[in-house]
């Protein structure tokens, strides 16, 4: 009897640990919002920052963030004139499990070489996109390639100036991505076979953003920020439904859109700013009606978070700003975190600036409250653009070939 009780206690404790050690299986986390459900994390840091758990220096040249799922880390990088995806063991300090080249380097990213896309983990498969348009589905356990496409050769896509940067979306049996161009601005593929299910010939070029799914005005849709603006297409067919061009600039549209209810928010840099649009429906017709537009969130590439009715995001040139989501009213701006990429967990914003300054900021709409800040070690000569990743009580920071992993659990947590 005592043995059975002990076994039951072990199972229950294990279940609790599994339910709180959340994965980060794709770009911007479990649901593409940049928000982790994890709790039990340190609410402040000492002057030197949280303890460094481990680091490796073998993930190649590039700007892609890692994906973390089922104790595996998946990340991309250039090496030996090839683009690679690496699978690492998260429980063994990043020990290499497998590596697979996905295609030759054919694009130098306009002076910023290396892949930008975050791999997408879905069950037994991992999917990734190279800077040249090499779209590959691999076995997550072995790295064996199941199928592949070239977005240019197969769908008539056009490589953006700085290369394809999108992280592909998996939704049910579909893989969604953005070749760009007149015939296939967006495509849906069968995730198992790579077979084309539909294509959306909007005519927009590919930007540098990634697709989200939302239910807007009663219809399930995919929303993407293309080179020309924000568009919505029907999830079942790819039918074009609406567009909202105010957040677009003529150089690079990068940040992933946000949705809440029937509202969509998107922002870009280069002096532009961000706007909120309400998606409305009249019969079979959809339209985007602007609610507000603000110059206080000129977000180039660090991403925007929606937390408790407020937007948090970097504002060029070097501010972190907080705005009311429904009105656009500026709550505060602060230079302390700098121009930064963001993630959120357990009441705190994790911000990393282009220069490698890492800040722990309270998600507080009244004012910017710092709870710790340190300078990332082992800085490369490139900007620290990869976003922070939070998974299993650890903070992952990628900087070119270096992957730094910090223990951010509250003291006494296991």
**What is the per-residue DSSP string for 140-205?**
TTT--EEEEEEHHHHH-----TT------EEETTEEEE---SSS-SEEEEETTT--EEEEE---PP
CB neighbour list of residue 343: distance below 8 Å, 6 or more residues apart: 28, 29, 34, 35, 36, 305, 349, 350, 387, 388, 389, 390
Alpha carbon distance 129, 124 (integer Å): 17
Query: H or E stretch including 19?
Result: helix 2-20
Place of tokens 């007149």: 182
Distance between CA 295 and CA 273 in Å, rounded? 4
Task: Give the Cα separation of 319 and 23 in Å (integer).
Answer: 29
CATH architecture of 22-407: 7 Propeller (2.130)
Tokens describing residue 405: 């992993």
User: DSSP code of 297?
Assistant: G
- Comparing CA positions, the residue from 413, 410, 387 lying closest to residue 399 is 387
Sheet of strand 186-190, all strands in order from the earlier edge strand to the far edge = 169-171, 174-177, 186-190, 196-200
> Helix-strand-coil percent breakdown of the chain, rounded to 5?
10, 45, 45
Residue 103 CB coordination number (10 Å): 18
Q: What are phi and psi of 148, to 5 degrees?
A: -150, 155
Closest CA to 203 of 175, 176, 233: 233
The SS3 call for residue 11 is: helix
- Give the Cα separation of 382 and 387 in Å (integer): 14
Taking alpha carbons only, the member of 253, 310, 249, 308 closest to residue 276 is: 310
pLDDT at res. 16: 33
pLDDT value of position 412:
67
- Residue boundaries of the structural domains of the chain: 22-407
Q: Which residues of the chain have pLDDT under 50?
A: 1-20, 414
């Amino acid at each position: 009897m005592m043995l059975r009780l002990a076994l039951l206690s072990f199972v229950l404790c294990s279940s609790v640990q599994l339910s709180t050690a959340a994965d980060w299986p794709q770009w911007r986390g479990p649901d593409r919002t940049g928000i982790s459900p994890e709790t039990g994390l340190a609410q402040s840091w000492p002057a030197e920052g949280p303890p460094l758990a481990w680091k490796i220096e073998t993930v190649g040249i590039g700007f892609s963030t890692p994906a973390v799922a089922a104790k595996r880390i998946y990340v991309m990088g250039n090496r030996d004139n090839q683009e690679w995806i690496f699978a690492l063991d998260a429980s063994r300090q990043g020990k290499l499990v497998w590596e697979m080249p996905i295609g030759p380097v054919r694009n130098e990213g306009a002076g910023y070489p290396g892949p930008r896309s975050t791999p997408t983990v879905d069950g037994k498969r991992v999917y990734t996109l190279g800077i040249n348009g090499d779209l590959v589905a691999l076995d997550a356990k072995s790295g064996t390639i199941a199928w592949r496409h070239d977005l240019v050769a197969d769908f008539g896509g056009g490589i953006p100036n700085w290369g394809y940067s999108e992280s592909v979306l998996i939704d049910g049996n579909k893989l969604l991505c953005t070749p760009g161009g007149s015939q296939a601005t967006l495509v849906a593929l069968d995730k198992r076979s790579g077979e084309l299910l539909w294509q959306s010939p909007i005519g927009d070029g590919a930007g540098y953003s990634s697709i989200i799914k939302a239910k807007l005005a009663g219809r399930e849709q995919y929303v993407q920020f293309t080179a020309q603006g924000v568009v919505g297409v029907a999830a079942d067919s790819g039918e074009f439904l609406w567009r909202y061009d105010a957040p677009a600039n003529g150089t690079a549209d990068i940040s992933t859109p946000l949705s809440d209810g029937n509202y969509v928010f998107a922002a870009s840099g280069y002096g532009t700013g961000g706007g909120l649009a309400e998606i409305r429906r009249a019969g079979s017709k959809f339209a985007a009606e602007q609610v507000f537009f603000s110059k206080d969130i000129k977000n180039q590439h660090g991403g925007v978070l929606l937390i408790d009715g407020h937007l948090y995001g970097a504002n060029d040139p070097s501010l972190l700003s907080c705005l009311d989501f429904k009105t656009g009213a500026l709550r505060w701006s602060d230079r302390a975190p700098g121009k930064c990429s963001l993630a959120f967990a357990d009441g705190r914003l994790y911000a990393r600036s282009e220069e490698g300054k890492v800040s722990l900021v309270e998600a507080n709409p009244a004012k910017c409250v710092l709870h710790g800040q340190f300078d990332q070690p082992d800085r490369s000569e490139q900007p620290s653009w990869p976003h922070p990743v939070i998974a299993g009580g650890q903070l992952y920071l990628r900087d070119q070939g270096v992957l730094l992993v910090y223990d951010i659990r509250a003291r006494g947590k296991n």
